[in-house]
Chains A and B, each alone.
Chain A
Amino acid sequence: MKYILQRLAFYAVTAWAAITINFLIPRLMPGDPVEALMSRYQGQLDTTAIASLKALFGLDEHQSLWSQYTDYWSHLIDGDLGLSFTFFPTPVGEVISQSLPWTLALVGITTLISFLLGTGIGVYSGWRRGSWLDGLLPVTTFISAIPYFWLGLIAIALFAVKWQIFPAAGGYDNSLVPAFDWPFISSALYHGVLPGVTIVLSAIAGWILGMRNMMVTVSSEDYVMVAQAKGLSERRVMFSYAARNAVLPNISGFALSLGFIVGGTLLVEMVFSYPGIGYQLFQAVGAKDYPLMQGVFLIITLSVLAANLLADMAYALLDPRTRKEA
């Protein structure tokens, strides 16, 4: 428990530092890009919108840095991240909350699938070295060595253009109204197949190799030999003794990859024009939409921290030695 509290405190401080840096960066930027944009939208911005943009980007020079800082926080706590210029006059918070679920669903589910599948294959191939599973390794390693951009384009060229099995772009059929019904969900799933499969393909080799190596290492531990000598069933030895220990180092890797879901999704969503937060960021950069960029960066930072916290908790749950060190 003490361990978890310590970690919580650590992440709270880190989050505070990250947000403060997010506050400082636009104030250190040369020129006033936001001001330039604001003047372009002159007349379309109402006074509250101007006030919140000023607070977020530090355009109000008459205020002390400290009162700018407290202003910034009070806007953040209200969930007010300013207005997006690209989707003017939609608030940034709204843009993000519309695109974030797509990213979380697509990349979250596929990250989980690659982790579970890769770990499972790694457990078996590390336990039964020399089985047919080992033949799979060079193939998956080769695929993971292809830059994702390429893999995605090849997938589109083959399965969307040559054989028109799957759609090449988008998150759902545009003729449908997003709703929680079967036509929409099935369309979303259908659009998710190509990006999803390519993500799994490019990520799985890392999990397989990592887990296989750990299984090989752990298999020579004394306690695994003892478990064999005890005449336990092979399943018990393999899972409860070997895999249970071998998976521990992979937990933190998994947490990091969870953190990168939001940040690392840029490429996937660009290739497949997927309506997630990465695609949003791509568009924001193109349009010099600073409020949206800043909002996305904030979400990325917080998600990396949240994922790490999750990993620490999972670790504490799975490794009794951590609990003691607290």
Chain B
Amino acid sequence: MTAEPILTISGLNVDYGTGASGVRALRDIDLTLHRGEVLGLAGESGSGKSTLAYAVTRLLSPPGVITGGDVHYHRPGGESIDILSLTPDELRAFRWQELSIVFQGAMNSLNPVHTVHSQLTDVLTAHRPGMRAAERTARAEELLNLVGISADRLAAYPHQLSGGMRQRVMIAMALALEPEIVIMDEPTTALDVVMQRQILRKLVELRERLSFSVVFITHDISLLIEFSDRIAIMYGGRIVEQAGATEIYRDPRHPYSEGLLHSFPALHGPRRELTGIPGSPPHLSAMPTGCAFHPRCGKAFEPCPERVPVLAAPEAGQDREVACWLPH
């Protein structure tokens, strides 16, 4: 991967609650998104994927707090912006213009009392004060066409649209200002498989046309194998492995990654046996010591319950990282 970084996250820690009742949801997250790539973020439900998306966009609502770390955005010119120290006004200007997000609950992401038109154009009103009303409407029509919805749906209210259409409206909205980064948090989870593929194909096509970078979050790793360039795997609030999509698929190094691959039917290639992962994900308040995965890991050995494995390249010079005590 020769591309320059566009978003760098380093040492990010997030807690829910403070003091005795506080729990740590993200631990020392280091992650880089490169210009033009699709980065997949996978992990079972509760592993902290959404928390990461909210923290990066500073949308965490109480009791969530960022307790440490940096998030930097790199403008195309090379200028670097410290997202976590933006003032409220700077943050408002930054949002959607540089980084937009499609949420997990995309079904409820549209305001039920306003039309699609109003919700597509208010972001233009906020960020492009010079734009005239007719231009905004034209842009909204263009955006709907982009995602394959006819322009006459602009007058519709959210409840008049199907789930798939609402989702595509959200994607259109995310592209309204042609941002550099789009974060998609399980954008298709609530939809049926056919609709999921349709939307993802559209997304990939749009990305090639408009060249933005994507962080694609899902618990279904088989989607990522197909659609992303690189994949990061999360477990218990940590990144436990990251590598190119094909490398993860062919040669997962972390037992958890391997478990995930055996939890979803592969789309292409040889059939894998669906064994799943025994046990269930840990609670934040009772995170196992050492490698958090050790109670569920078939390959655990002496160091695992004692010491936390660090995320590092398995062999020097490799462009992948894994956090596991197993010799590679």
Contacts and interface: CB of A to CB of B under 8 A. Distances in A.
Is chain B's interface secondary structure helix, strand, loop, or mixed overall?
A: mixed
Nearest to A321: B159
B112 A223 contact: yes
B113 A231 contact: no
A220 B97 contact: no
A262 B27 CA distance: 62
A236 interface: yes
Interface stretch (B99-107, B233-241, B286-294, B305-313): B99-107
Interface residues of A, number: 24
Interface stretch (B30-38, B120-128, B219-227): B120-128
Contacts, number: 78
B57 interface: yes
Contacts of B132: none
B114 interface: yes
Contacts of A62: none
A223 B95 contact: no
B159 A231 contact: no
B159 A324 contact: yes
A223 B108 contact: yes
A223 B110 contact: yes
Nearest to A227: B111
A222 B109 contact: yes
Interface in B131-185: 157, 159-160, 170, 173
Interface stretch (A134-142, A171-179, A237-245, A251-259): A237-245
Interface string A222-240: 1101111111110010001
Contacts of B212: none
A231 B111 contact: no
Contact of B109 (A220, A223, A319, A320): A223
B210 interface: no
Contacts of B105: 222
B112 A245 contact: yes
B93 interface: yes
A60 interface: no
B96 interface: yes
A229 B100 contact: yes
B121 to A, nearest CB: 11
B217 to A, nearest CB: 15
Given A320-B159, A321-B157, A231 B93 contact: yes
Contacts of A245: 111-113
Contacts of A241: 111
A32 interface: no
B88 to A, nearest CB: 8
B325 interface: no
A233 B159 contact: no
B264 interface: no
B105, B108, B111 — which one has the most chain A CB atoms within 10 A of its CB? B111
A236 B123 CA distance: 11
A221 interface: yes
A153 interface: no
B112 A230 contact: no
Given A229-B59, A244-B113, A318-B113, A222 B108 contact: yes
A234 to B, nearest CB: 8
Contacts of A319: 112-113
A319 B158 CA distance: 12
A127 to B, nearest CB: 13
Contacts of B61: 220, 225
B91 interface: yes
B201 interface: no
A230 B111 contact: no
A114 to B, nearest CB: 24
B92 interface: yes
Contacts of A321: 112, 157, 159
Given A229-B100, A231-B96, A232-B122, A223 B111 contact: yes
Contacts of B95: 228-231
Interface in A193-236: 220-223, 225-233, 236
B59 A320 contact: no
B265 to A, nearest CB: 29
A39 to B, nearest CB: 62
A232, A236, A324 — which one has the most chain B CB atoms within 10 A of its CB? A232
Contacts of B57: 229
Nearest to B111: A223
B59 A228 contact: yes
B152 to A, nearest CB: 16
Nearest to B110: A223
18 contacts: A222-B105, A222-B108, A223-B108, A223-B109, A227-B111, A228-B59, A230-B95, A231-B95, A232-B122, A233-B92, A236-B126, A245-B111, A319-B112, A320-B113, A320-B157, A321-B112, A324-B157, A324-B159
Given A225-B103, A244-B114, 9 more contacts: A222-B105, A227-B111, A229-B101, A240-B122, A318-B113, A319-B113, A320-B112, A320-B157, A324-B157
Interface of A: 220-223, 225-233, 236, 240-241, 244-245, 248, 318-321, 324
